[in-house]
Structure formats: structure tokens, C-alpha cells
Amino acid sequence: MSNEKILGDPSSKSPRHTADDWLNTLDRARKPGPFLADHAAPGSGMSTVSVHAGTHDDPRTGAVGTPIYQASTFVLNDNQYQSVEEGFARDRFIYSRYGNPSQWAVQEKLAALEGAESAIVFSSGMAAITSTVMALVDKGAHVVASSDLYGGTYNLFNQEFPTMGMSCTMVDSYDFDAIEAAIQPNTQLMYFEAITNPLLKIIDIPRLAEIAKRRKVRLVIDATFAPPVAMRTLEHGVDVVVHSASKYLNGHSDLIAGVAAGPRKLIDMIWPRLLNYGGSLDPHACFLLERGLKTLAVRMRAHEESATALAKYLEGHPRVKKVFYPFLESHPDYATARRLLKNGTGNITFVIEGGDAAALRLVNALRIPKQATSLGGVESLISLPFNTSQATFTSRQRADVGIDPGCVRLSVGIEDAADLIADFEQALAAIYAKKEPAYA
């Protein structure tokens, strides 16, 4: 009955120790992974990496692509028991909350795309964010974060942190002096977003990384709006990159997932939080995410192509007051975008004449973009900050953060630019042609 095969990462071995010496003779060093098998780099192009990295054909049947390992638990042998005893259980299959081959495959692909040593997938972006933050802070810790964070992350810092005796100072991500001034002796983490929502500010991450390193603080970046292909965030000196994988990474608006990627040392610190908080990703969702990722590079090119054409069209429309798209020269961060982004994305934010009422009529008049929150899917999605992401704000609070009446959030999918433009043309024509009823 005894099976001595290594069920896990075959290159991960127990630390050995020479009896005559002290701790210095322990011989296990950290290495990237865990990986299902030695897997030669398939190439360096982002499309090649998207398709091949981490994908392991079924060794038993030769079936192409990673099988779905829909199992909650694994047959145990001495190797797994030893991994628990010696503290390297992350490298063996024991129980799917700890790790599962379907998770490992997609984690390897994500790590390769981000240029990271290791990655962990989670059951949502917020599970990834909470586990990452909590792994990098201690009792009494302080965090410096951006003042225009995603609402879920804002709630973590604003609602959960004080309960746990921790605090967060939120600062304008353009104001580097204020960021430095906010760092205290107990500050352990700087937390920012690569591209903000909804105004699509491009944050100068290399500058933040310089501050973090000099002030001995870790830097975590949420790069949901700037997936690899657009930006390899870790290359700019970031400690850990997190994403809501439900957006561009998966790209099909059909699952909820998150990921944290970075050096093995830090991802190994996050792993116990995955176990404690329990945000593990189901094997079938891993399969969907891995399949979605295979087309990441080609999708990102299509997003950029359609979004750029539509942004230009909107910028020229007489009823559109402002367009925010990082690759338009009119964008306030155009130079930073050209420096940091290797590819555009699908997010466009624009403001139309007639305020939020006109914006509401616009989203109802459009035929292609679906009126839904989220972003990064192959289908265009459209929503309004005033009744979704910033609905709890007063109109003055929205104005203070730069969200004007008539502001529209658009995530351009991969539909043909000509069709999208035609749809916006008809919708804009329709909503401004109608005379407002006197009682409206």
C-alpha cells in the first residue's frame, strides 16, 4: 500500500542537517515554485508564455492541457507526512485548501507572466488582497495607501484595520512628499493601485518603489487594471503584485478569482494566510482561469485596438466633454503611461453633456456594451460611478475626487472598433435628439 512517490514538487526536498554543526548546516535553500514538474521556459514572448507556461499535459493519457483535478484531498504517503513535519507542506499535495495541481498550473502561468518566483491564486481579488496585507503587517502596524483605492480595499483599511488595532493613512498617489511624510516608525506597507478607478491615473510605481526601499517599507501594488502584457509590475521594484483575476486575467466575466505574485519568500508568508482565511480557488475555476489566460496577450492587443479607436472617436464628439484614456495625448499621465505601459487596456472613462441623467440615458441606449460593473472581459461593460462604484458619495464628494456629473466608466471588450463606434454614434444621437420633457 505504501507509495513513496513524491506527490508534489519533485525538486523540493527536506532540509538536511549535519549533526556536529549548528543551524548553519541546514541545506534547503529557497527556490521558485512550487511547480508540478521541471518545465523548460517555452519562450519569452508574452503570447507564448500565456499559452504554454504552467500548462502540463496529462502524464497518464497525453491529453493536451492541464486536466481539471477536481479533488478536495490527496492520498498521503511518507513524503507528505514529512513535508508537514519539516514545514514544506506547500510543496506537496495534501488537501486542496493547501494546494491542488489545478491551482499550481495556473499559478505557474501567472508567475511566468508576472516574472515572479511564485504566485498563489485565491477565491477572489479581495481574498488575495486581505491575505497579502495581513501577511505583511504585525500588531500595531500602519499602512500608507492611496486615497482613491478600490472600495473593497478601502473597506479593509477603513473598517477591518481599526478593529485589529492597525491603522492606515490615505494619501494622494501623485503627492510623493505626502507619501513620505505619512511613513511612521510602525509603517510596514505601502499599498497602491497601478491604474486607478475611475479616472485611470497612471501611478509612477518606480518612484513609489524608490521611497519604499529607502524607508524600509514593503510595496504592494494592485495591478488589476494593468495586467502583465500591459505592465510587469514586479520589474518596477514592487514586492508583491495582486490582482482581481476576475477582470483582464480571466477575461471572460465568468469567474471570481484573485492572485498574489512575487518572490518566493513573501508568497510563502502569504500562504499561511490563505490557509487561515480560507480563500482557496476551486479546481474548476482554476481551469477556467488557466484557459482564459492563454489568450491574455491577444486579448490585450484587441482591447487596446478597439479602446484606442473608440477613445479617439469619443474625444472628437461634440457632446463628450472629457475622455480619459492613458494612450490619448490629452490624458494627464500620458507620458507616464508611455513609460510604464507596454500595451493599452480597455478602460475608458468619459464625461458627457447633460450630467448623470444623460449618462443614464446613454447606457440604456447602447446595444453592445452591457450595463454591468466589473471590467476586462471580452464583452464591453459600461457603468456609472454615481450609482455604482461611488454611489455612497455625495455629488460634492464625487466632485472632490474628480468625478464630474455625466461620468461614464467603460470597459471596452474585444468587439470590432467599427461596431462599437457605430453603436456610440447611434446612442449619442438618440439621447440628445430627444427634447427633454418639461417635467423631467
Partner 1 sequence: MRNSIPTAALSEFVNEVQNTPEEAVMEYGIEINWESGTRSRTETKAMKVGPHQVSRSFSWKSDEPRQLMGNNHGANPQELLLSGLGSCMMVSFIAGATAAGIQLESVRIDFDATLDLRGFLGIGSNATVGFPEIRYTIHATGDASEEEFAELHRKSVAHSPNAQTILNPVKLNGAIVSTRIEG
For partner 1, the binding residues (CB under 8 A) are: 14-15, 17, 19, 22-24, 26-30, 84-88, 137-142, 165, 185-188, 213, 215-218, 265, 268
Instruction: Quote the least distance from Cβ 19 to partner 1, whole Å.
Output: 7
Peptide bond into 198 cis (omega under 30): yes
Active site residue 333: no
Closer CB to partner 1, 28 or 321, in the complex: 28
Instruction: Quote the least distance from Cβ 31 to partner 1, whole Å.
Output: 9
Say if strands 347-352 and 370-371 run parallel, antiparallel, or are unpaired. Answer: unpaired
Report how far residue 414's alpha carbon sits from residue 426's, in angstroms, rounded to the nearest whole number: 20
Q: Which of 9, 222, 282, 423 is catalytic?
A: 222
Cell of 45: 514572448
Instruction: Quote the least distance from Cβ 271 to partner 1, whole Å.
Output: 11
Q: Which of 13, 28, 97, 321 is catalytic?
A: 97
Q: Which of 247, 294, 361, 409 is catalytic?
A: 247
- Write out the H or E segment, with its range, that includes residue 290: helix 283-293
Instruction: Quote the least distance from Cβ 156 to partner 1, whole Å.
Output: 17
Residue 7 · residue 75 · CB < 8 Å: yes
Active site residue 248: no
Active site residue 150: yes
Closer CB to partner 1, 118 or 390, in the complex: 118
Closer CB to partner 1, 166 or 407, in the complex: 166
Closer CB to partner 1, 68 or 179, in the complex: 179
Contacts of 129 (CB under 8 A, 6+ apart): 152, 153, 156, 222, 242, 258
Closer CB to partner 1, 90 or 232, in the complex: 90
Residue 245 · residue 121 · CB < 8 Å: yes
Instruction: Quote the least distance from Cβ 359 to partner 1, whole Å.
Output: 44
To which residue does cell 482561469 refer? Answer: 289
Contacts of 437 (CB under 8 A, 6+ apart): none
**Backbone CA torsion sign across 417, 421, 427, 428:** positive
To which residue does cell 478597439 refer? Answer: 306
Count of other CB atoms within 10 angstroms of residue 341? 20
Active site residue 423: no
Closer CB to partner 1, 183 or 403, in the complex: 183
Strand order in the sheet with 381-383: 320-324, 347-352, 407-411, 381-383, 370-371
In SS3 terms, 326-373 reads as CCCCCCCCHHHHHHHCCCCCCEEEEEECCHHHHHHHHHHHCCCCEECC
Active site residue ranges: 97, 150, 222, 247
